[in-house]
Structure 1
Amino acid sequence: MPHTDASADAGIAPATDFGTLTSPGAREGRIGSAAEAGADVEDTLDLRLPADFVALFAEDVGVGGGWRRGADTGAPGFVAPVAPDLLGSVVDWGPVSTSAGVLHLVPARIERDLPIISRWMNDPTVTAFWGLAGPENATEEHLLSQLFGDGRSVPCVGMLDGTPMSYWEIYRADLDPLARHYPARPHDIGVHLLIGTTGDRGRGLGGTLLRAVANLALDKRPACARIVAEPDIRNTPSIAAFLSAGFRFSAEIELPAKRAALMIRDRSLHHLL
């Protein structure tokens, strides 16, 4: 699952006002030296969801499961199971008020959202990080891998006062290949963000939205003790946005496509932020 890193408040490949934008497969690699040196001492989890476990959840429509037909997959008559949502039904998280307006994370749908997400991915400031430029099918394959995967990641469109302006991936970091590269804890939630609209970049909006979504995730997922992200270490504006949203820099980790800054937002500080 590609994760990218856009820039936050200006500059450096203003790649999309921040987020965790990475290239495909960026989580497959070795843990970085700083993490090896002891940043956060918990044992690293390396969990894979067995097929029978996924099938069990897919059969339970009450856990976010369901069925989706050809209109969503591009294949007439094709029927595929919608991935079970292992984040506690992000679709039910609802809107959250921010100083910039009301933000609502709406789970992505191929037939509705593919054109705008693909357009954002073809923005030159985004391309270098996400690696999904080109025809729509590149973005479509990326979305389908999550929509019909094992439910560990939920792709969403961020609606600010009713206008689509960002793309998010909310994912179970402890069940993701990323868990091989940092000391993961059970129920860690990861966040990737892409600000799609040029006019929304470079004015501090990234930090504002990140703070709101981190708060929302911690409120809705009591078992989650941390929100994590891994922007490219070169993307100073992105890292600044996470810092402004209450994340702390934990370590540098080496991923196949980049050297990343491991950013962590702790529940223990939730009441202070």
Structure 2
Amino acid sequence: MSTTKGHADRDVTEDLLDGVAGWGPVLCHLGIFELVPVTFDLGIPLVARWMNDPAVAAYWDLAGPEIRTTRHIRVQLHGDGRSVPCLGVLNGTPMSYWEIYRADLDQLARYYPALPQDTGIHLLIGAPEDRGRGVGGILLRAVTELVLDKRPACRQVVGEPDVRNASSRRVFRKAGFDFVAEVDLLSKRAALMIRDRLTLYPYEIPRFDGYS
């Protein structure tokens, strides 16, 4: 994914991705899940630790000192709002990292018939014990449906996992994404996967209004 530096203006960020910070928690089969935007004061050390897991580093290429992760996130925080890095918080515990981005404004849009407001998703599950048992698929489905709910102008949600990452491709399929093509991006050969709004299940996303 590519990002372009611009003004770090909160209003611009909310204009481009409809205020990810305010999307709020949702209920899923695993409990209460929420995307919480990463800031320089929140989340970077934890994400950097996850990036040094060999299973993660093989695809994200951000292993090493914390400054490598900081630089990766800084580009997004100082950018024009087309990409928002987030912690995925499940039942009060940060356990995953997400990037919600405007796919139609990304280099990815060169490789498929992008529509205005297309939204892309990158994700990693932090703890090894949470991988390989269906957690990723459940959360990706919840986030995808959250994107489509909160971004009414978005018709397609897009993923581009590394073609070598069979487990990630499987997660996208379980979340309702269709494989479209293999594409050569700047940093990887990717499996282009798309979830169209028309395939959204005909029920409303459960709301969480607070602890009783």
Distance in structure 1 (CA, Å) of the matches to 2:45 and 2:187: 26
Give the letter aligned to residue 164 of structure 1: P
Q: Which residue is 1:266 aligned to?
A: 196
Q: Which residue is 1:252 aligned to?
A: 182
Distance in structure 2 (CA, Å) of the matches to 1:163 and 1:234: 29
Structure 2 residue runs without a partner (length 5+): 204-212
Aligned match for 1:158, one of 88, 96, 102: 88
Q: Which residue is 1:36 aligned to?
A: none
Aligned match for 2:101, one of 166, 171, 194: 171
Distance in structure 1 (CA, Å) of the matches to 2:184 and 2:193: 14
Count of residues in correspondence between the two structures: 203
Contact map agreement 2:159 2:193 (CA 8 A) in 1: yes
Q: Which has the higher contact order (CA 8 A, sep 6+)?
A: 1
Residue 140 of structure 1: CA displacement?
0.3
Contact map agreement 2:156 2:197 (CA 8 A) in 1: yes
Contact map agreement 2:95 2:125 (CA 8 A) in 1: yes
Query: Percent identity at matched positions?
Result: 57
SS in 2 for 1:271: coil
Contact map agreement 1:232 1:260 (CA 8 A) in 2: yes
Aligned match for 1:141, one of 71, 74, 81: 71
Q: Which moved more, 1:161-170 or 1:248-257?
A: 248-257
1:190 aligns with 2:115: no
Contact map agreement 1:172 1:190 (CA 8 A) in 2: yes
**Large movers: runs of 4+ above 4 Å:** none
Alignment of 1:46-125 (within 5 A): 58=9, 63=11, 86-125=16-55
Q: Which residue is 2:147 aligned to?
A: 217
Contact map agreement 2:119 2:157 (CA 8 A) in 1: yes
Cα offsets for 1:188-219 (capped at 9, x unmatched)? 00000010111111101110000000000000
Alignment of 1:16-27 (within 5 A): none
TM-score of the pair, normalised by structure 2: 0.89
TM-score of the pair, normalised by structure 1: 0.70
Structure 1 residue runs without a partner (length 5+): 2-24, 26-47, 66-82
Distance in structure 1 (CA, Å) of the matches to 2:42 and 2:143: 23
Contact map agreement 2:14 2:20 (CA 8 A) in 1: no
Contact map agreement 2:31 2:91 (CA 8 A) in 1: yes
Give the letter aligned to residue 150 of structure 2: K
Q: Over the residues paired in the alignment, what is the CA RMSD in angstroms?
A: 2.0
Aligned match for 1:232, one of 162, 170, 185: 162
